[in-house]
Every structure is written in structure tokens, then in C-alpha cells.
A and B are shown apart, each in its own frame.
Chain A
Amino acid sequence: MFMDWLNKKKESIESKKSIFNNIPDGLWVKCPQCNQIIYSKDWLENYKVCIKCGFHSQLNFYERIALLTDEGSFKETDENIISFDILGFHDTKPYSQRLMEAQLETNLKEAVITGLASIEKIPVNLIVMDFRFIGGSMGSVVGEKVTRAIERSIDMKLPLISVIASGGARMQEGLISLFQMAKTSSAIARLDKEKILYICILTHPSTAGVLASFGSLGDVIIAEPGALIGFAGPRVIEQTIKQKLPAGFQKAEFVLQHGMIDAVVERKKLKSTVALLLRLLWRKK
């Protein structure tokens, strides 16, 4: 019953219009970075990017699809794979309860959604992570869906695009989660051998086990401004080295400067940038 309800909710992956334009009048949003008060219409029309300071607020799966793909083109794949509590994991609450709460909160079944779509009329295969779902963490289901998506790209000869938003491996599934890194990376190795284009889009945050596997193995890696990109979290680093980290450490611009990514692209240019890369590297016309 719960799943039926989820499915019903999901059928309405809304159009860009309704997600970014259809806002009740008279609402205001405060930018989390510069505290600027922004008329919510402007906030949404600017894809949740602050018009004053350029802060890129996190997008959920639905918003990301609306931003990146041609309207109405997204068809979800492997939508019926769901997690269960493999280890009987119980911290401050049982893992099964965490899963249920995340599903209710997000209207999603897991932290990753995969599917076929088009970007400026070019067919692509998409992997989109949603940070709201247990921090976008990778457990068995994320690993399996990502691997199937990679294999589908090989079978269908479709370029693969991943949108990363993850704190890393999902602790509640123990070593099984860690091994998803090897699983997804080995699938990428095959994709690479088959010469299928893979583009990674790193959004805030892209860290740990997901960055240290399929999240950074793209032929081209682009990031949104200000996104945290790193292996270890800043707090862990500060505790280890016992000093404060310099401003901007592990931010997209810092990672770009150190040669680890190809470009930092602001959100409103993301779709056209991806489309251009597809035309240059994949379609070649």
C-alpha cells in the first residue's frame, strides 16, 4: 500500500514550469549564505541560486530533472528496487525506520533515481542523487541502481550523466556499502572500455565513498559553484590535523584550481554546458 502511494506521488514528475514558475505570490526566501531576502518567484526562477551572492541551494531530484532534461522526457528505470535492513542495524533508531522516514519525506524510494531522458534532444541515461534521502548515502540499492544504469548505457550505447549529491557510503549497511564502491567502479571500467561518454556533475556535497568511486570517474567532471568536493569531511580533517582549514577548502573552485575537475559551471548554464559537451564529444556535430 505504501509503495502504491509512493508510485502515485512519483507519477507527477512535474514540468519545469510548474516546479520553477508556479509559486504562490508574496512569499519570501532568505539566502542561507548572505541572508539576502529574495522574492520567492525570483529565487525559483533563478533555480534556487541567490541573485545577490550566487549561493547555489541544494536541488531535490524533481528540481534537478526539471533543470537538466527536456520537459516530459524523463522515464524512470529500475524504480522498484528498495532497501531493507540487512544487518539489523540499530543506532538511535532502527535502519528500517530511517528508510521509511526518508521515503515519506522525499516521496522517493531511495537516494538515487535512474532513468532515460533527453537533453536538448540528445538521448541520455541519467543517474540523479537526492541528498535528502539519508544524506544521499550509497548502500546496496544505490550501488545496484547505479550499476544497472551503467550496464544499460553499455547495452543501449547511451551517454551516461550522473548528478552527485552524497555524504558517502551508507553506514547502516556496513561493509556491503563500502563494496558498492568497487561494484560501481568496475562497471564504469567496462563503460570506459566500450567508449561510452560519462559526465559527472558534482553538486553540494560530493564526498567520501561516492566521490571515491563512480562519482569522480567521469570522462568529464563538472561541478556547481561552492559545492563541497572531497574525500574526508572538513570536520574530520580539522580534528586530525588540529588546525583550522583555510577558507574555501574543498569547495568546487578550490578543487578546480588543484586540477581535479574540468569546470565549475553555474546552474543556469548547466543544461546548455552538458548539451554542448554531448554535441562535441558524443554526437560530434
Chain B
Amino acid sequence: MKRSLSPWERILLARHPQRPTFLTYLPELFDDFIELHGDRYFGDDPAIIAGFGFFDGESVAIIGQEKGQNVQEKIKRNFGMPHPEGYRKALRIMKLAEKFNIPIFSFIDTPGAYPGIGAEERGQAMAIAVNLKEMSLLRVPIIVTVLSEGGSGGALGIGVGDYILMLENAYYSVISPEGCASILFRDSSKAPEAASALKITAEDLFKLKLIDEIIPEPEEGAHTNPSETADNIKKALKRIYKNLKAKPIEVLLKERYEKLRNYGKFLEEVRK
């Protein structure tokens, strides 16, 4: 049944009120997690959780966007829409991980970076740009998992890595389907059409070679069995981390750059 879901239906599943968020998976995937707060410049952004824990007995850095699971939590977490402080905190923790040669596991779940006055005043664009630049050079393996919503630059800001996974019903897009519908289709009710046109499902993105792997979800979606979903995530992460760990760092960095370098399709006219 799930094979025939439309892109829009997948988005509805990705945004399902009962869909597990990062904090559901955190204790299932990692042991002894300790959260480390603050960007050391301005504040602490609850929309991004960062810290260290043990994965299968090994120390790892963990970065995750959290949307919140009830009304109070959602408000506290700003519905998973980070401010610049969140990106700067994430980078601080990732640099700390690099310093002690600890791999990084990043989890994406955001409708997008927060479009607000403070976020602009404190350099939302600049914070994201710096993360993209710095993550490309971090000398430790980085594994990125898109849990539910991969909202544009807000997602990419913690999303540069060596291997990109997506849960089966997650989506990852350059713009929200609603935003695209209102700008290009001139009609925000055309979000389902925009969702199809943008090619934002895990399946489409795997075909386009923009992501590396799809993690299966239970038949009716992740929310029907969160621990089975967590199990699937854990299995995939274990296998991938084992592979990445075996690579010398120079090889890993070279492959990361090549991966980034090869994004894009175009025609090139050869001149005589």
C-alpha cells in the first residue's frame, strides 16, 4: 500500500502529529547522552539539540533538530525552526568533535530556518553559509539522517556530510511546497502539485543521486511503530559508520568534496 503514496501524502505523513521526533529516537540510538548548550555568542537555541553520547559503545557527537511533541514543547522548540545560534552551537560542537577525533551524527527535522527579525539581525544566512563551508572540511566522518522534514537551507545548515540517509516518508526540498505553490503556481492551494514537481520524496531524491540511502519505515508510517523505526535507523547507521570509519581521513575528505562537487546537471557546448 505504502508504495503508491503520492508525494503530498508522504509530506502529510512526514508532518503527522504523532510522528516521532528526534527526541524519540535519541535514547533508542544512543547511550549516556549529555546535552551541551549555547553558541558562546548570544544564546542557546532549543530547536537544535547538540551533545555527545555513545553509539554502540563508541563516543559520537550528536546534532539534532527538534520540533517538539506537545504544544508547550513545540513553542519551546520554535517548531524546529532554528535561529543562527542553533547553527553556531552545532558548529561549535562539531569542531569539538573534530578536535577529539569523534564522528558526527546529524539528524534533520525542520520546516526551515526561522524567518524572523532576530534571526535576520544576527545573520541567519551567514550562520548557515559558515556551517556549509566548515562542515565540508571537518576531519571526522559525518553521517546525516533526514528524519521527517528537510526544509531548505535550514536543513542543509547541519546537513553536509559523507553519507545522507532519509527515512522513507521524509521529504527534503529547496522550498516548502506551499511556498513554491504561492510563488511559482501563484496559488498556495496548489501545494500538492508543487510537491510532485519539486521531486522531494526519498525515492525521487535517491533516483536523482542526491541522497545515498532510504531507511524503511513500518507499513503505515514511523508513528505506528517508533521503536521499529529506530531499529531500522540504528542498523543503517551502524553499517555506514563501520564503512566510513575504515577510510583514511584524506580519502574520506576527497570523496566528500567529490560528492559535493558533482551535484548538478547541465549541458556544455564544446567549441571548435
| Known contacts A185-B129, A189-B133, A216-B129, A237 near B174 by CB under 8 Å | no
Measured between C-beta atoms, what is the minimum distance from B26 to chain A in Å?
25
Question: In whole angstroms, what is the CA distance A173 to B114 when docked?
Answer: 23
B260 interface residue (CB < 8 Å to A):
yes
A203 interface residue (CB < 8 Å to B):
no
Question: In whole angstroms, what is the CA distance A11 to B12 when docked?
Answer: 51
Measured between C-beta atoms, what is the minimum distance from A256 to chain B in Å?
12
Q: Are A171 and B263 in contact (CB under 8 A)?
A: no
Chain A 143-155 near chain B by CB (<8 Å), digits 1 or 0: 1100100000000
**Chain A facing B: main interface SS:** helix
Of residues 140 through 184 on chain B, the ones whose CB sits less than 8 Å from some CB of chain A are 152-153, 156-157, 159-160, 172-175, 179-180, 183-184
Q: Are B120 and A231 in contact (CB under 8 A)?
A: yes
| Known contacts A3-B269, A175-B172, A181-B156, A186 near B133 by CB under 8 Å | yes
Residues of B within 8 A of A39 (CB): none
Q: Are A189 and B266 in contact (CB under 8 A)?
A: no
Q: Are A186 and B264 in contact (CB under 8 A)?
A: no
| Known contacts A141-B266, A176-B210, A180-B264, A89 near B197 by CB under 8 Å | yes
Query: Given A87-B199, A147-B261, A231-B113, list of 15 further CB < 8 A pairs?
Result: A81-B269, A82-B267, A90-B197, A139-B264, A169-B153, A171-B174, A171-B198, A175-B198, A183-B261, A185-B129, A186-B133, A211-B125, A214-B129, A216-B126, A233-B115
Q: Are B210 and A80 in contact (CB under 8 A)?
A: no
Shortest 10 CB-CB contacts between residues of A and residues of B: A232-B115, A186-B136, A140-B264, A185-B132, A91-B184, A231-B124, A231-B125, A80-B269, A212-B125, A211-B125
Closest to B161 in A: A182
Of residues 202 through 222 on chain A, the ones whose CB sits less than 8 Å from some CB of chain B are 207-209, 211-217
Contact of B266 among A82, A208, A214 (CB under 8 A): A82
Question: In whole angstroms, what is the CA distance A213 to B205 when docked?
Answer: 22
B239 interface residue (CB < 8 Å to A):
no
A156 interface residue (CB < 8 Å to B):
no
| Known contacts A91-B197, A140-B266, A186-B160, A236 near B115 by CB under 8 Å | yes
Residues of A within 8 A of B153 (CB): 169, 178, 181, 208-209, 212, 231
Measured between C-beta atoms, what is the minimum distance from B33 to chain A in Å?
27
Q: Are A182 and B263 in contact (CB under 8 A)?
A: yes
Contact of A178 among B122, B152, B183 (CB under 8 A): B152
Closest to B87 in A: A212
- A residues apposed to B, CB below 8 Å: 3, 80-84, 86-87, 89-92, 139-141, 143-144, 147, 169-183, 185-190, 192-193, 207-209, 211-217, 230-233, 236-237, 240-241, 245, 249-250, 258-260
Of residues 189 through 248 on chain B, the ones whose CB sits less than 8 Å from some CB of chain A are 194, 197-200, 205, 208, 210
B58 interface residue (CB < 8 Å to A):
no
Of residues 255 through 272 on chain B, the ones whose CB sits less than 8 Å from some CB of chain A are 256-257, 260-261, 263-271
Measured between C-beta atoms, what is the minimum distance from B188 to chain A in Å?
11
Residues of A within 8 A of B137 (CB): 186, 189, 193
Closest to A186 in B: B136
Q: Are B198 and A186 in contact (CB under 8 A)?
A: no
Q: Are A92 and B267 in contact (CB under 8 A)?
A: no
Measured between C-beta atoms, what is the minimum distance from A111 to chain B in Å?
13
Closest to B179 in A: A236
Measured between C-beta atoms, what is the minimum distance from A185 to chain B in Å?
4
B: contact size bracket:
35 or more
| Known contacts A90-B197, A91-B185, A175-B199, A212 near B129 by CB under 8 Å | yes
B57 interface residue (CB < 8 Å to A):
no
B1 interface residue (CB < 8 Å to A):
no
List 24 A-B pairs, Cβ < 8 Å.
Answer: A81-B269, A87-B198, A91-B197, A92-B186, A140-B263, A143-B264, A147-B261, A171-B184, A174-B198, A174-B208, A182-B159, A183-B261, A189-B134, A189-B137, A192-B133, A208-B153, A212-B126, A231-B120, A231-B128, A232-B113, A237-B117, A241-B116, A241-B117, A260-B126
Question: In whole angstroms, what is the CA distance A147 to B116 when docked?
Answer: 31
Q: Are A92 and B185 in contact (CB under 8 A)?
A: yes
Residues of A within 8 A of B271 (CB): 80
B121 interface residue (CB < 8 Å to A):
yes
Closest to A98 in B: B184
Question: In whole angstroms, what is the CA distance A231 to B124 when docked?
Answer: 6
| Known contacts A182-B160, A231-B125, A258-B123, A217 near B130 by CB under 8 Å | yes
Closest to A230 in B: B120
Residues of B within 8 A of A216 (CB): 125-126, 129
Question: In whole angstroms, what is the CA distance A80 to B270 when docked?
Answer: 7
B252 interface residue (CB < 8 Å to A):
no
Q: Are A176 and B263 in contact (CB under 8 A)?
A: yes
Question: In whole angstroms, what is the CA distance A245 to B266 when docked?
Answer: 39
Q: Are B115 and A237 in contact (CB under 8 A)?
A: yes
Residues of B within 8 A of A84 (CB): 265-267
Residues of A within 8 A of B210 (CB): 175-176, 179
Residues of B within 8 A of A215 (CB): 125, 129
